[in-house]
Structure 1
Amino acid sequence: MEVRGSEATIPAGAAYLQADLLVPADPVGVVLFAHGSGSSRHSPRNVAVAHQLNRGGFGTVLVDLLTSAEDEVDAVTAELRFDIGLLADRLAGVVEWLATERPFGAAPIGLFGASTGAAAALVAAAQQPDLVHAVVSRGGRPDLAGASLGQVRAATLLLVGGRDEQVITLNEQALDQLTAPAELRVIPGATHLFEEPGALEQVADEAAGWFHDHLHPQPTTA
C-alpha cells in the first residue's frame, strides 16, 4: 500500500509542535500517537507500530508534545514529561487540528498512548469525546488520568506485558474506573518495553484489530 509521508508544524495552544504524518490512500482512520516519558516522535517502538497500522490502511501522526526548548528543560528536570494536564491539552489541540485541517480527510480519529502518554491520551479523549473514538494504551499508566477515566467515551484497549506486574495492577485499577467499553489484554512473556521477540508485533496486531472494530464515530443521541 502506498503511503505518503510529510512533516507538519501543528499549533496547540501557544505551542507549535513538530509532527510526522503518514497518509495512505483513502485512510480508514487516523491514529495519533502520544509517546511515553523521555521519548519522542522518533521512538522506534511507536514508529514500528505506526508502520504496521499504515499497512492496515490507517493514517498515523507521530508528534512531539514538547517544543525543542521545553525538551531541553525536561532533559534536565524530567518534570514536563509527567505533566499529564499539559500533554493532554497539547494532544487535544492536535486532535482539533486534525478535525479542522483534515489532512486525512474525514477519517475518524483514535489515540495510541505509551507509558505516561497513555494517561495524556485518555485525558485528551475525555476532553474531545466527539472527535476521539478509540484509544489504545501500550504499557501505559492510565491511572495517572485520574478522574478523567470516568469521562472517557472512546472504546479503550489496555495492553500490558505479562511480566510487567506492577503496571498490570495499575491497569486493572484503571479498568474498573472506565465506563466506556474497555478491555485489558496481557501480552504473555513481555516486559514493560515489549522488547521480546514478537511482542511489539503482537501489540501492533491487537491495536490494529481494536481500531478496525472501534474507530468510527459513535451514533449521536437526541
Structure 2
Amino acid sequence: MRYENRADAGRRLARNLEHLRDTRVVVLGVPRGGVPVAYEVARHLDAPLDLAVVRKLRVPWQPELGFGALGEHGVRVLNQDIVRESGLSATERERLEQAGSAELEEQVRCWRNDRAPLPLTGHSAVVLHDAVSTGAAAEAACRVARTRGAARVILAAPVGQEESLAHLRAVADDIVCPQALRHIGSADAWYEDFAPITDADIAALLAEAAPVPGSAHGLSPAHPAPGRPVAVPTRYAPMAALLTLPPAARTVVAFAHAGSGGQNDPRDRHLASALSRAGLGTLQLDLLTEDEEHNRHNVFDITMLARRLHAASAWLRRETGLPVSYCATDTGAGAALAAAAADDDIRAVVCVGGRPELAGPAALARVHAPSLFLVGALDTRQLGCSRLAADWMRCDHRVDVIPDTGHLFIEPGALDTVAELTRDWFISHLARVDTHALQGAP
C-alpha cells in the first residue's frame, strides 16, 4: 500500500495508536520527514508535539546508505556491519562524525529556535519516522527520548524493514508499523508525494500544533526529584544513603562508595544528577562509616563491602519494587562486581575507574549483569586493572577509554562524557530486559 503523502501516512498510522489517547504521552517527530507524520498523530491523539533531533551519518560515496546517526544529548549510534562493509576508515568515520555533530548543533538551534524541549519524565514518548530502513536514525531518536526521561518509548512508522525493526526492539518498548516488510527499498517508493521537508515546513508544523500548558497532559519541568536521606539496614549497623526517585522511575542505581561521605563525592553527585535527569532512581550509599574508613583494611575488604551492597539491593527492591543496577568507583568497583556475581537480578553495572579486578576471577566469571568499564587513558594502572577484570568475564561487557583523562576525570568535559556513557549503558540494557519481558520470553 502506498501513501498519498506523509500527512496521509500519519493519519492512517494514528488509528493504530488510538489506545494512547488520554494517556500521558508526548509525540516526537524525527526531522525532517517524520515531523509531518508526527503532526497528524499528535493532532489525532490531542497530544503535545516535539522533536527528537537526529543527524544521519552517510557513506560519502553512497549517500543513500547510512552507517549511523547522532542525536541530541550526546546520543551516538553506529551500524558496525555497514562500517565494515563500506570500507570506511577510522579517520574518515571520525571526520564524518565531527562534521555531523556540528551540523546537528546547528539544526537544533534552527529547528528549536529557543523553544525548550518538552519534559518527558514520567510520560510515554511516541517517536515518529516516515520510514525505517537501516534503523540508525530511529534508534538514535529512541535513545534521545530515553535520555530525556521518557518512562516508555513507542516507535511508530508507516513502513519499515523487518530486520531493522527487530533490532530496534532493544531500544523501544513497543513498535507500531502497519507495513513491516522484508525489503522496503527506497523510502520514496512508498509515497505518491515524497517532497523534501524544509526548515520552514518544520517551523510551521510546530507552530500549528496546539501549545500545551505546563499543567496539561501532566507535563512538568524536567528537574530531578529531590533526594531524601535514608538509613539502609544491615546485619551490623544502618548505612547512610541518599535516595532519589524521579516520577515513573524504572530502575534504581546504587552507587557503591567504599567509604564514608559518598553523598558529597563530586563524581558520584555529578553522575547521580545525570541519571536522575534521565528518569533513573539513584541511591548514593556509604558502605563504610567514618570510623571504619580510618582502617584501610576495610576499604579493601571486598567480601564485606559486597555483602553490604547486596543487603542494600534487597532493601531497595522491598522499598521501591524496582530493579537495581550498580555504579561504582575505587574499590567499590570490585565490591559491585562481587555483589553482582551473587545476584542474577542486578540489571547492569558501570565501573568508573576503580579496582574491578579485586572481585577475583571466580566471581567475575559468574557475573551475568552487562558491565561497562570507564577508564581515563592517562591512568594506565586502572586501565590494566579494568582490562584484566574484563578478560575474566563471560557476560556482555565493554571497556571504554576516555582520551586525555586521568583517574579522577577532572579534565574539562571528562565527567560529562562519563555521565553520558553511564546513562546510556543503564538505559539501553534496561530497555533490552523490558522488551524481553514484554515479548513473553521465558
- Scaled by the length of structure 1, the TM-score of the pair is 0.90
1:200 to 398, 415, 420: 415
How far the C-alpha of 1:118 sits from its partner, in A, is: 0.6
Q: Which amino acid aligns with 1:156?
A: S
* % identical aligned pairs: 38
Are the structure 2 counterparts of residues 144 and 8 from structure 1 closer, same or farther at C-alpha, using a change threshold of 3 Å?
same
Could you tell me whether the CA contact under 8 Å between 1:7 and 1:20 is conserved in 2? yes
Could you tell me whether the CA contact under 8 Å between 1:110 and 1:215 is conserved in 2? no
Which moves more between the two structures, 8-17 or 183-192? 8-17
1:140 to 330, 351, 354: 354
Q: Residue 380 of structure 2 aligns with which residue?
A: 165
Which moves more between the two structures, 4-13 or 143-152? 4-13
How far the C-alpha of 1:164 sits from its partner, in A, is: 0.5
Q: Residue 175 of structure 1 aligns with which residue?
A: 390
1:64 to 282, 286, 293: 286
**Aligned residue pairs, count:** 214
Q: Residue 329 of structure 2 aligns with which residue?
A: 114
Matched, 1:78 2:296: yes
Q: Which amino acid aligns with 1:46?
A: D
| Distance in 2 separating the partners of 1:179 and 1:44 | 32
How far the C-alpha of 1:13 sits from its partner, in A, is: 2.1
| Distance in 1 separating the partners of 2:316 and 2:266 | 23
Unaligned runs of 5+ in 2: 1-221
Local SS of the residue matching 2:407: coil
Q: Residue 88 of structure 1 aligns with which residue?
A: 306
Which moves more between the two structures, 165-174 or 30-39? 30-39
Matched, 1:12 2:234: yes
| Distance in 2 separating the partners of 1:90 and 1:128 | 13
Are the structure 2 counterparts of residues 24 and 73 from structure 1 closer, same or farther at C-alpha, using a change threshold of 3 Å?
closer
The structure that has the greater radius of gyration is 2
Q: Residue 53 of structure 1 aligns with which residue?
A: 275
1:190 to 392, 405, 411: 405
Q: Residue 100 of structure 2 aligns with which residue?
A: none
Q: Which amino acid aligns with 1:215?
A: L
How far the C-alpha of 1:108 sits from its partner, in A, is: 2.2
| Distance in 1 separating the partners of 2:249 and 2:366 | 28
How far the C-alpha of 1:73 sits from its partner, in A, is: 4.2
How far the C-alpha of 1:14 sits from its partner, in A, is: 2.1
Instruction: List per-residue Cα deviations over 1:110-150 (Å, max 9, x = no partner).
Output: 100101111100011111112x1100000121110002100
Could you tell me whether the CA contact under 8 Å between 1:37 and 1:116 is conserved in 2? no
Could you tell me whether the CA contact under 8 Å between 2:258 and 2:287 is conserved in 1? no
- Scaled by the length of structure 2, the TM-score of the pair is 0.46
How far the C-alpha of 1:78 sits from its partner, in A, is: 1.6
| Distance in 1 separating the partners of 2:281 and 2:292 | 31
| Distance in 1 separating the partners of 2:227 and 2:259 | 25
CA RMSD, 1 decimal: 1.8
| Distance in 2 separating the partners of 1:111 and 1:18 | 17
How far the C-alpha of 1:204 sits from its partner, in A, is: 0.5
| Distance in 1 separating the partners of 2:376 and 2:359 | 20
| Distance in 2 separating the partners of 1:39 and 1:192 | 19
Unaligned runs of 5+ in 1: none
Q: Residue 192 of structure 2 aligns with which residue?
A: none
Local SS of the residue matching 1:24: coil
| Distance in 1 separating the partners of 2:412 and 2:365 | 35
